[in-house]
Amino acid sequence: MKKIIFFSFLILAIGKESFSQNHLKDEPNWINYQQRNINYPKTNYLVSFISEAVNPNETLDEATDRISNELKGQLAEGIQVEIKTVTKLDVVIENTEVYNLINKSNVSVSEIKIAGLNQEFYHDKRQKMYYAFAYAEKNAVLESYSKSIEIKLLEIDANLHKANKYKEDNDKKNVLKSYFANLPLFREAEKDLAIITALDGNYTKLANAINDKKSENEQQTAQLIKSESNSINDVAFFMATSLSFQLNDKTQPIEIENFTFANTHAASEFSRLFKKIFSLKLAGLGYNVITNSSIAKIKISGTYWENDPMLDIVCSAEDKLTTSIVGSSENSLKKTYLDLNNIAYKALNIKNVISLQDSLETNTELSEGIVINFMTNKGKNNLIFEEGDTMKLYMKANKACFVRFIYYLADGNKVLLLDNYRINAEDVGKLIKIEQEFECYPPFGTEILQLNAQTTPFDELNTQNLDGYKVILSNISEIMSNLRGFKTINNEDGKAQKSIVITTLPKD
């Protein structure tokens, strides 16, 4: 069954209005589920809808800010799923260059921005409910991202022109700086292209234009600087040096996330080692590399994928306040080097993980209404837990609902952590700690945590008790069919799903 994605939006180019500022006196027709789908068909519109009970401890403006962020997150997650899907389509796979551009994009939640958004709010004082609706024409969104790429290509051209001028003056440093200044522009263009592709836009001409400029930039750079990629040290040094031409303020605190394999969000032994060496190389160049994410101003994340006989690696430095890409670098490492040094760059169970991710995404209907979030004590992105580490889990929801928590272990077992856990009205919006804690121990590999929420109770799964845990005997199809027990028919119904990928490793 094709998944249903309901998109939501961050307002751009228009002022954000609160419930109190844009309060509709009469109940709008978009509150009705059927009417909303008739007036704003998913083929032509990107839409989002949220309904929830009024929180007496929250002002109307505070509710607006929070709900806007929740809608933005839903949009980003929906688009991320679609980006993963399009990489499997024949039309993309046949075009290797487009496939590689999308793989490099690694679009994050914070980077999804939608122009041409309309938002409306309704406060039902009698029922003490908030309703929020956002919509944008799909063609207008596609046009916005297409224009964004065209503007970036003009900036890239300008930098190439600058480089030629510096060449005439024999100013090698500024020539290189001009070429390196194009790298974050390429990353931004690749992210825009990934979103266009995910929304079924015409990407071929834009992809060719990006690749042509990339080839020119890379060829010119290669004439001035040679990249020795014989070891992890070589690659880390080159990428750190490349960033040093782009990140001018060395005092800003920088955090480095674990790089992940392709579009799986899964880390590895290579991820852990590369992060350690890359951090040392940046620190050696005078940068303020820290481990405390809460005070970091710049976040460096990256991905890598197989491009035989090489492992291609790319990173982006993001300004955490503006979410803009302020630096980027890429390089390649011979896979034979990793094999000879027994450095695994993907988990032994990675094929099973990819298959599981496909099943979770393809067979899930994500409906409107419920917003759920969860995280571990190490966060929720690019996670590595080492032997002996304790993993704690936290969750919250925007409305009263039933929750099911499933842990897909590296050994193939499926553990039911919570089932039909009731989040009551008084717990809505609060961070709830799951009682069970987990100690990391063998077998190691990539694992998935899945959180489901719905407004009606879940049907029972076939389980058995093993070593103090409820192990699910049902297969994935049975688990997913269990979640499709009802269709959304009104604003009180709803279901949602979130998952986190973690990698467990032996102690370093």
Of 84, 10, 136, 32, the C-alpha closest to 491 is 32
pLDDT of res. 92: 40
Pairing assessment for the beta strands 414-423 and 463-466 based on DSSP bridges: unpaired
**Residue 219: which H helix or E strand, with range?**
helix 204-222
How much is the pLDDT for 4?
27
Per residue of the chain (508 residues), give pLDDT as tens: 222 223 333 333 333 445 544 556 678 898 888 888 899 998 888 888 888 888 888 888 888 888 877 877 776 676 666 766 665 544 343 455 555 565 555 545 455 677 777 888 888 888 888 888 888 888 988 999 999 999 999 999 999 999 999 999 999 999 999 999 999 999 999 888 888 888 877 788 999 999 999 999 999 998 888 776 789 999 999 999 999 999 999 999 999 999 999 888 999 999 999 999 999 999 999 999 999 999 999 999 999 999 889 999 999 999 999 888 999 999 999 999 999 999 999 999 999 998 888 888 765 555 567 888 899 999 999 999 999 999 999 999 988 899 999 999 999 999 999 999 999 988 988 899 988 888 999 999 999 999 999 888 998 999 999 888 899 998 887 887 766 544 444 555 678 888 999 999 999 8
How many angstroms separate the CA atoms of 127 and 11, rounded?
A: 27
pLDDT score of 270: 98
Q: What CATH number should be reported for the domain whose range is 350-505?
A: 2.60.40.2550
The confidence score (pLDDT) of residue 97 equals: 57
Round to whole Å and give the CA distance between 251 and 298. Answer: 11
pLDDT at 165: 96
E strands present in 178-280: 253-256, 260-261
Buried b (16+ CB within 10 A) or exposed e, 314-331: bbbbbeeeeeebbbbbbb
Listed by start position, the domains of the chain span: 29-140, 227-346, 350-505
Cα-based distances in Å from 91 to 78, 95, 130:
21, 7, 42
Structure-block tokens of residue 68: 């806007």
Q: What is the model's pLDDT at position 367?
A: 52
pTM of the model: 0.84
* Pairing outcome for strands 118-124 and 260-261: unpaired
- ∠ CA 208-210-214, nearest 5°, is 115
Place of tokens 């809608």: 71
Q: Do domains 227-346 and 350-505 have the same CATH topology?
A: no
**pLDDT (0 to 100) of residue 365:** 55
Q: Which residue has the tokens 């109190």?
A: 20
In a 10 Å sphere around its CB, with 0-12 CB exposed, 13-18 middle and 19+ buried, how is residue 391 labelled?
A: buried
What is the number of helices (H) and of strands (E) in the chain? 12, 21
- CA-to-CA distance for 366 and 340, rounded, in angstroms? 44
CA atoms within 13 A on the CB side of 490: 2
Strand partners, 150: none
Largest CA distance in the chain: 75
Beta bridge partners of residue 313, listed in sequence order: 304, 331
Please tell us whether the domain made up of 227-346 is placed in CATH 3.40.50.10610. Answer: yes
Residue 349 · residue 410 · CB < 8 Å: yes
